[in-house]
């Protein structure tokens, strides 16, 4: 393992982490402000990817597709909030879990009904394809660097939004006291729709970009959703800072675990066995991480309201 | 049996008087559901329609898994999103045991030699013990958290076990493990569909009776209070944590036994029994039927399995409709099927 | 101070920069009612939390009947004989009065891992619970769900729960609030009678009741005990007048 | 709601009774396949290919019942029960995935029903658990990987890097590859997580190794993701794999990143035989897309059944079985016969992905990797 390879793997972990942050920040915001567990968050990721792929395929431009994907995710988020989600704010977590589980089924099958069973085509835009040289000689895809940059931008923007703007003030007020912002004369219903759509848009953004790297297919949101939940639980639900730290932690642990565990086992096993055992443990690693963190910090690393 | 239907929780002579007609209505509904489950396969069997016997067996087993989860969610207020771990573990105990019995190899050769077996009584015992141990570990850690954290940490543990099963080659990994010959119950022919149904039905009735009795006991009173008002319980000098932990273990044991039966019904056990969709499905059944109602899981499982069977035959987009129905139940039919059939829940 | 049942010594507790409890020491002697008063925000809730075990003090000690209980949990303290009622009613609303009180009896007996015998047929649970309810003159409401009770009745159920625990020391957090004149009078009577069985640490806003009932009074302002004494001393204390009346 | 349940039960009972009235000489075929959720395009193609063959046969005495298993083993098992016990089907077919096949097939064939696999071929069913009523019309799972091992050795590649997901089909793939590849040393061997979609870490390892080629088995979305990411990584090594990651539908999703990839398949749409040409043409006409290998497998399975029905009705199990075993039908893949374990003995071809007429990537037949390939588990089969 050379230093440059290690550096490259750290970048990979960082990239996975920033992508997770796009998902997790929306999820944690919605929980922090409205107290809602949204299992259907992965569906917005899928909507973003499908609309981007479809639009890009039709117009020939990734960028038009990206814009359409984000807008569509936000719009779908707003509609879902108006029709379904707002009936769930005062419900128990159990009802929220079931209702949003139902939404997953509806979105997955609805998407399949609209777009068919086959995965859609979506590629990295021409301008961002290719790879650049890294210090140490290896090469790294430009598009992944862009994802990291977008993740960092979104993180900064979110921090500014929450700490500097009126909307952010309302969001913070909502986190600390839901009754109070009602009393302040803020239209709480509108605020909730806005926050929910914002979260959906971020998920859509993640889906659009990742769709270009991976495959755009029904069900693509579910593995990401579970990872995003692991992230926000590790970070402390409701905390944007926690989501950021959690994302990076999960991204790095997952990537490095996949790389190093098999190598570790190769010290005392045959390569094939080591690869198998290492991969098995690597796939369990982030869940182990989460269990350990919660065992010692039952409300995550940065519990928002504690 | 009558005692069983008087209601498990608060609606006992010493507690809240509930208007009489409602008690009778729920009792009546409970009996009707149980009777339907018992009679339908018998009639089907007499008509030679084996398929419906197996369908009823499936309902009985799925109900039992949900009865276990209902103990945790409905009675204990512990929203476990990881009960597939116990369902699957129970299944794997049956599968692994049958595998070794078929191959005549030992399950364990160290520290003690343990041969495989196809004796259901032994398998059930081992399945229940394994689930109890696993639940003790998972519960001990998870119950330190609460709320969403509890939901997610139970999910995390189930995922760990899922990935372990997928990548563990000895017992088939993702391909799973077929059970070539259904495990045997001393003195009965388990290959006869009706006999196997009756075994499962008896196990279900036992699980229901135990749950009912349990919830009337001191332990049940403490568990109810842990759910309704943890502070009150602690102020009475009863620590909530051990009460919850024991309830979690019992819940896991019931779900695990259902898993063992499920594996034998299907003649197959695989990692899909451990997946998070499975946890979601059991939870859906509990909520569909009515959370915290003794017979909620039965009505939920009947509805769920029938929907799966009927809708699945009508359209390949049946999951879309399942989703819509679920959404409708959550938003507009609170209290689930039992709420519709027997009126509002007794508490909350 | 050998007859002190409950002793707090030098308790400190801060939340970040806010010092919510500053060097508080007080005791509760057998046979007395010791009232703790103070304006809103004086740190009463924080102090109660430290006595009952919901909060851990940063420094200092809590002793019950000579035993150091500072590090014990809520349940452990309750088992050692610390009974309490809550300022905001903390009962299981959907359960009957009897069920709420029975839990306390069950806690007292210490057997909660019994899985088989139905509680409603367990005379050793039902009878003490009914006795505690009778003591609060709530017999007619025993089977009523708490959610259907009036505010005052809930307070009485709280006290019944605390009594059913047969505590060595009783901590009552604003038991008079919302009772109305008649209920207040009845409760006052009961407390006077009760203090001979179990000493009471009374947190109360109703000054009339406090001055009538309390053998001793401690005044908490800004996390500190600023005055301590019998009724007349407190009434005359200029610090107290300043804190309370703002003059 | 109660009334609804009652109606539901009544409905179930009545459809059950209806099955009694089926005509005796009619043939009932039950198809359990994946039509919803991830990977459903495989099931859809199998179904479409199968139905096309039935339509072309012009027979109206065959009833085809199709149900979706949602890729869940217990649902598949339940559907099998339903088909056998309620609908009394003579033949079952359709399952896409090995784990579902393992859940369903052993018990089905023991009940005397014929099962013809149009896709999955787990090693146990070819070996230790082989059965007289089980026929595999596609391939044994390891075939395409073994063939690729042999091909890469022929091509003189010295240091292949190999990877597959960490599950039984994945281990079978790599073991299968290694069993026929002895042309050098592996540059590396990685098991990835099942369902993994980001391969940056693995690609970095490939880059850092001294590999001269990459062999991978990543079915479905995993393969799409890997191929795209590999293409974008700037690593310029030739890619090899089984056809599962390069059917026409997946190629559409991968785009030009797939161009140049070499893959092994028992079938290619440009395979030069009249049956195949007619099949591809009629499939395109009927469904408006180019068939995948899954469609050809569905088509072949149906034609095998049709050919056997010419000789015998499944009620006469022994005669029908003999007719199936003879495999007297025109296969889309050229010569086709069964080994003694009822698995195919067939040529495995090599295809390469090129830019098609409209710029879209498509497969071109290059040659034959292994002739008359038979699976290695046949000796474990005691039949």
- The predicted-structure confidence for A159-169, as pLDDT tens digits, reads as follows 898 888 877 77
**Residue range A249-281, pLDDT digits in tens:** 999 999 999 888 888 888 888 877 787 788 888
Q: Is residue D15 part of a domain?
A: no
**Sole residue written with tokens 């779900």:** B255
- D202 and A258 in contact by Cβ < 8 A? yes
Question: Is D168 close to B173, i.e. CB distance below 8 A?
Answer: yes
DSSP state letters, A97-118: HHHHHHHHHHHHHHHHHHH-SS
Q: What are D362's strand-pairing partners?
A: D354
Name the 3-class secondary structure at B295: coil
Residues B148, A294: C-beta atoms closer than 8 Å: no
DSSP string, B8-23: SSS-STTS----HHHH
Q: What CATH number is given to the structural domain containing D245?
A: 3.40.50.2300
Whether residues D182 and D239 fall in one domain: yes
- Chain-centre distance for alpha carbon C83: 6
Q: Nearest-CA residue of chain B relative to A90?
A: B331
CB neighbour burial string for A94-104, b if at least 16 within 10 angstroms, e if fewer: bbbbbbbbbbb
Kindly state whether A220 is in contact with chain D, defined as any CB-CB distance less than 8 angstroms: yes
Q: What is the pLDDT of residue C168?
A: 92
In chain B, what residues touch D75 (CB-CB under 8 Å)? Answer: 308, 312
Q: Are residues D172 and D306 in the same domain?
A: no
Distance between CA D299 and CA D276 in Å, rounded? Answer: 10
Domain count, chain D: 2
A24: pLDDT confidence band, cut at 50, 70 and 90?
Answer: very high
Query: First and final CA of chain D: distance in angstroms?
Result: 52
Prior bond to C237 cis, omega within 30?
no
Percent of chain B with pLDDT over 70: 91
Tell me the pLDDT tens digit for each residue of D322-380. 999 999 999 999 889 999 999 999 999 999 999 988 778 999 999 999 999 999 999 99
The set of residues, in sequence order, having a beta carbon less than 8 Å from that of D157 and lying 6+ positions away, is D183, D184, D212, D213, D238
Q: Which two tokens stand for residue D207?
A: 């880059």
State whether B167 and A276 contact (CB < 8 Å).
yes
Contact (CB<8Å) B306/D75: no
CB contact under 8 A, B306 and D35: no
One pLDDT digit (tens) per residue for chain D, 383 residues:
444 444 444 444 444 444 444 445 789 999 999 987 767 889 999 999 999 999 999 888 999 999 988 888 888 988 998 899 888 999 999 999 988 998 899 889 988 999 999 998 988 899 988 999 999 999 999 999 999 999 999 999 999 999 998 888 888 899 999 999 998 999 999 988 888 888 988 998 898 899 999 999 998 888 999 999 998 888 889 999 999 989 888 898 888 889 999 999 999 999 989 999 999 999 999 999 899 999 999 999 999 999 999 999 999 999 999 999 999 999 999 889 999 999 999 999 999 999 988 778 999 999 999 999 999 999 999 88
Neighboring chains of B (3 or more beta-carbon pairs < 8 A): A, C, D
Q: What distance in Å separates the CA atoms of residue D368 and residue D377, rounded to the nearest whole number?
A: 22
**What is the pLDDT averaged over residues B7-31?**
55
Chain A CB contacts of D290 under 8 Å are none
Nearest CA in chain D to A19: D198
Q: Tell which B residues from 232 to 291 touch C, by Cβ distance under 8 Å.
A: 232-240, 242-243, 246
CA atoms of D69 and D31, how far apart (whole Å)? 10
Which residues span the domain enclosing D283?
23-139+272-342
CB contact under 8 A, D103 and B180: no
Provide the number of CB pairs (under 8 Å) joining chain B to chain C.
Answer: 139
**What is the C-alpha radius of gyration for chain C, rounded to an integer number of angstroms?**
18
CB D13 within 8 A of CB B55: no
Chain B, nearest residue to A114 by Cα: B317
| A279 vs B167, B319, B320: nearest CB | B167
Same domain, D373 and D247: yes
Mutate one of B43, B52, B268 to test the D interface: name it (highest D CB count within 10 A): B268
Collect all residues with Cβ–Cβ distance below 8 Å to B215 and sequence separation of at least 6.
Answer: B8, B9, B75, B223, B224, B294
Our CA-based measurement puts residue D173 at a distance from the nearest CA of chain A, in whole angstroms, of 12
Query: Domain for residue D9, yes or no?
Result: no
Residues D153 and D107 placed together within one structural domain of the fold: no
Contact criterion met (CB below 8 Å) for A301 and A242 = yes
Q: Do A213 and D204 touch (CB under 8 A)?
A: no
Second-level CATH architecture of C1-81+175-182+201-247: 3-Layer(aba) Sandwich (3.40)
Provide the pLDDT for residue B148: 85
Nearest to D168 among B49, B172, B303 (CB): B172
In a domain, D156, yes or no: yes
Domain limits of chain C?
A: 1-81+175-182+201-247
Residue B25: count of CB within 10 angstroms of its CB: 14
Q: What is the DSSP letter of C27?
A: E
Helices C151-164 & C97-109 angle (0-180, nearest 10)? 20
Q: Which ipTM was obtained for this model?
A: 0.85
B18 and C CB contact within 8 Å: no
D231 and D316 fall within a common domain: no
Lowest model confidence (mean pLDDT) among A121-125, A229-233, C123-127: A121-125
List of chains touching A (3+ CB pairs within 8 A)? B, D
Confidence (pLDDT) at A182: 59
Tracing tokens 């609804």 back to the chain, one arrives at D4
Asked whether residue A232 is domain-assigned, the answer is: no
Whether D10 is covered by a domain: the verdict is no
Q: Which two tokens stand for residue B2?
A: 């009558």
Question: Does the distance separating the beta carbons of A217 and D253 come in below 8 Å?
Answer: yes
CA distance B269 to chain A (A): 20
As given in the structure block, the two tokens for residue C75 are 């349940």
Q: Give the pLDDT band (50/70/90) at residue A219.
A: confident
- The dihedral built from the CA positions of residue C116, C121, C123 and C125, taken in this order, carries a sign that is positive
Q: How far is B231 from chain D (nearest CA, A)?
A: 39
> Which of A123, A143, A275 has its CB closest to that of D190?
A275
Whose CA is closest to B236, among C76, D373, C33? C76
Q: Is the pLDDT of residue C12 over 80?
A: yes
Q: Given CB atoms, is C98 within the 8 Å cutoff of chain B? A: yes
Q: What distance in Å separates residue B320's CA from the closest CA in chain A?
A: 5
- Give how far Cα B51 sits from Cα of B45, B198, D8, D17, D77, Å: 9, 15, 15, 12, 12
Quote the pLDDT of residue B35.
94
Domain covering B11-342 assigned CATH 1.10.3470 in the classification: yes
C and D: touch, per 3+ CB pairs < 8 A?
no
Determine the structural domain holding residue A196 and report its residue range. Answer: 3-220
Number of domains in chain A: 1
Please report the pLDDT score of residue A218 as a whole number.
86
Q: Are D206 and D213 in contact (CB under 8 A)?
A: no
Task: Let me know if residue A228 belongs to a domain.
Answer: no
Which chain B positions have a beta carbon within 8 Å of A283's beta carbon?
163, 166-167
């Amino acid at each position: 393992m050379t230093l440059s390879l290690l550096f490259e793997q750290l970048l990979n972990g960082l990239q996975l982490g920033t992508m997770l942050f796009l998902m997790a920040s929306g999820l944690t915001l919605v929980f922090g402000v409205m107290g809602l567990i949204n299992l259907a968050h992965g569906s917005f990721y899928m909507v973003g990817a499908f609309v981007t792929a479809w639009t890009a395929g039709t117009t020939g431009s990734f960028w038009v597709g990206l814009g359409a994907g984000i807008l569509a995710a936000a719009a779908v988020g707003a509609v879902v909030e108006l029709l379904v989600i707002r009936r769930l704010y005062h419900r128990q977590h159990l009802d929220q879990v079931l209702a949003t589980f139902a939404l997953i089924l509806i979105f997955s099958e609805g998407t399949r009904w609209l777009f068919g069973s086959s995965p859609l085509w979506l590629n990295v835009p021409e301008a961002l394809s290719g790879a650049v040289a890294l210090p140490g000689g290896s090469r790294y895809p430009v598009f992944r660097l862009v994802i990291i940059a977008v993740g960092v931008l979104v993180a900064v923007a979110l921090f500014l939004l929450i700490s500097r703007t009126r909307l952010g003030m309302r969001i913070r007020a909502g986190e600390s006291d839901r009754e109070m912002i009602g009393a302040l004369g803020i239209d709480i219903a509108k605020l909730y729709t806005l926050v929910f759509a914002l979260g959906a848009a971020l998920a859509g953004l993640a889906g659009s970009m990742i769709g270009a790297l991976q495959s755009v297919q029904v069900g693509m949101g579910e593995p990401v959703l579970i990872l995003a939940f692991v992230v926000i639980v590790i970070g402390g639900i409701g905390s944007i800072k926690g989501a950021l730290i959690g994302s990076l932690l999960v991204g790095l642990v997952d990537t490095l675990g996949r790389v190093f565990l098999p190598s570790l086992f190769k010290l005392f096993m045959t390569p094939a066995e080591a690869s198998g055992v290492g991969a098995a443990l690597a796939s369990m690693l982030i869940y182990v991480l989460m269990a350990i963190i919660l065992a010692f910090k039952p409300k995550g690393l940065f519990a928002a309201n504690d | 049996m009558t005692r069983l239907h008087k209601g498990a929780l608060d609606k006992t002579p010493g507690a809240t008087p509930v208007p009489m007609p409602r008690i009778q209505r729920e009792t009546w509904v409970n009996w009707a559901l149980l009777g339907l489950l018992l009679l339908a396969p018998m009639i089907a069997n007499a008509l030679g329609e084996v398929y419906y016997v197996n369908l009823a067996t499936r309902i009985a087993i799925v109900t039992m898994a949900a009865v276990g989860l209902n103990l945790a969610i409905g009675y204990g207020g512990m929203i476990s999103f990881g009960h597939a771990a116990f369902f699957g573990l129970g299944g794997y105990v049956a599968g692994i045991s049958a595998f070794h019995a078929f191959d005549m190899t030992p399950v364990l050769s160290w520290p003690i030699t343990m041969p495989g077996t196809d004796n259901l009584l032994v398998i059930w015992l081992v399945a229940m013990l394994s689930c109890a141990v696993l639940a003790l570990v998972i519960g001990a850690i998870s119950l330190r958290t609460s709320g969403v954290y509890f939901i997610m940490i139970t999910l995390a543990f189930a995922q760990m076990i899922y990935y372990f099963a997928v990548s563990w080659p000895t017992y088939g990994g993702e391909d799973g493990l077929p059970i070539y010959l259904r495990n045997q119950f001393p003195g009965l022919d388990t290959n006869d569909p009706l006999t196997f149904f009756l075994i499962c039905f008896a196990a279900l009735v036992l699980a229901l009776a135990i749950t009912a009795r349990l919830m009337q006991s001191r332990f049940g009173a403490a568990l109810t209070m842990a759910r309704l008002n943890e502070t009150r319980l602690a102020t009475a000098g009863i620590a909530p944590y051990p009460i919850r932990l024991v309830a979690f273990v019992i819940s896991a044991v019931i779900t695990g036994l259902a898993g063992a039966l499920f594996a034998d019904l299907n003649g197959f056990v695989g990692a899909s029994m451990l997946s998070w969709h499975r946890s979601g499905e059991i939870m859906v059944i509990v909520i569909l039927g009515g959370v915290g109602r003794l017979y909620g899981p039965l009505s939920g499982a009947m509805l769920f399995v029938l929907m799966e069977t009927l809708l699945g035959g009508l359209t390949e987009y049946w999951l879309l409709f399942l989703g819509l129905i679920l959404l409708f139940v959550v938003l507009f039919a609170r209290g689930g099927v039992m709420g519709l059939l027997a009126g509002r829940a007794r508490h909350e | 101070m050998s007859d002190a049942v409950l002793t707090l010594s030098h308790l400190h507790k801060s939340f970040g920069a806010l010092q919510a409890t500053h060097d508080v020491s007080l005791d509760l002697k057998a046979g007395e009612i010791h009232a703790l008063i103070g304006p809103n925000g004086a740190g009463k809730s924080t102090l109660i939390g430290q006595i009952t075990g919901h909060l851990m003090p940063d420094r200092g000690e809590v002793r019950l009947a000579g035993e150091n209980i500072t590090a014990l949990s809520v349940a452990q303290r309750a088992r050692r004989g610390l009974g309490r009622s809550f300022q905001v009613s903390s009962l299981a609303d959907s359960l009957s009065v009897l069920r709420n009180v029975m839990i306390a009896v069950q806690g007292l007996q210490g057997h909660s891992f019994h899985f088989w015998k139905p509680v409603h047929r367990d005379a050793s649970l039902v009878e003490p619970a009914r006795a505690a309810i009778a003591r609060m003159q709530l017999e007619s409401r025993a089977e009523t769900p708490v959610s259907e009770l009036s505010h005052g009745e809930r307070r009485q159920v709280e006290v019944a729960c605390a009594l059913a625990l047969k505590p060595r020391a009783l901590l009552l957090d604003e038991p008079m609030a919302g009772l109305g004149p008649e209920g207040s009078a009845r409760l006052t009577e009961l407390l006077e009678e009760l203090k001979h069985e179990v000493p009471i640490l009374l947190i109360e806003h109703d000054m009339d009741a406090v001055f009538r009932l309390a053998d001793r009074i401690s005044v908490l302002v800004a996390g500190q005990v600023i005055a301590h004494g019998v009724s007349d001393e407190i009434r005359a204390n200029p610090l107290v007048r300043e804190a309370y009346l703002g003059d | 709601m109660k009334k609804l349940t009652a109606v539901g039960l009544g409905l179930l009972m009545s459809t059950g009774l209806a099955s009694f009235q089926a005509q005796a000489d009619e043939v009932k075929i039950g198809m359990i396949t994946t039509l919803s959720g991830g990977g459903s395009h495989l099931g859809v193609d199998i179904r479409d290919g199968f139905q096309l063959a039935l339509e072309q046969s012009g027979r109206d005495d065959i009833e085809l019942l199709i149900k979706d298993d949602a890729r869940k083993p217990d649902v598949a098992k339940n559907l099998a029960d339903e088909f056998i016990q309620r609908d009394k089907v003579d033949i079952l077919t359709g399952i896409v995935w090995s784990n579902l096949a393992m859940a369903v097939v052993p018990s089905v064939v023991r009940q005397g029903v014929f099962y013809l696999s149009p896709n999955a071929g787990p090693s146990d069913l070819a070996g230790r658990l082989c059965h007289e009523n089980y026929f595999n019309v596609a391939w044994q799972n390891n075939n395409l990987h073994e063939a690729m091992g042999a091909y890469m050795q022929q091509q003189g590649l010295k240091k292949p890097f190999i990877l597959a997901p960490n599950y039984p089909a994945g281990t079978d793939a790599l073991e299968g590859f290694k069993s026929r590849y002895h042309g050098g040393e592996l540059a590396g061997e990685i098991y990835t997580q099942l369902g993994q979609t980001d391969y940056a870490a693995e690609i970095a390892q490939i880059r850092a190794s001294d590999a001269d080629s990459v062999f991978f088995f990543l079915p479905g979305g995993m393969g799409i993701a890997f191929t795209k990411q590999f293409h974008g990584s700037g690593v310029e090594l030739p890619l090899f794999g089984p056809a599962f990651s390069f059917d026409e539908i997946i190629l559409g999703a991968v785009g030009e990143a797939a161009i140049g990839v070499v893959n092994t398949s028992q079938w290619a749409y440009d395979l030069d035989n009249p049956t195949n040409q007619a099949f591809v043409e009629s499939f395109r006409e009927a469904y408006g897309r180019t068939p995948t290998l899954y469609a050809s497998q569905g088509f072949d399975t149906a034609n095998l059944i049709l050919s056997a029905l010419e000789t015998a009705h499944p009620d006469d199990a022994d005669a029908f079985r003999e007719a199936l075993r003879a495999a007297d039908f025109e296969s889309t893949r050229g010569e086709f016969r069964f080994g003694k374990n009822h698995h195919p003995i067939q040529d495995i071809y090599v295809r390469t992905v090129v830019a098609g007429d409209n710029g879209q990537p498509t497969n071109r037949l290059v040659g034959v990797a292994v002739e008359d390939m038979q699976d290695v588990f046949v000796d474990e089969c005691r039949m």
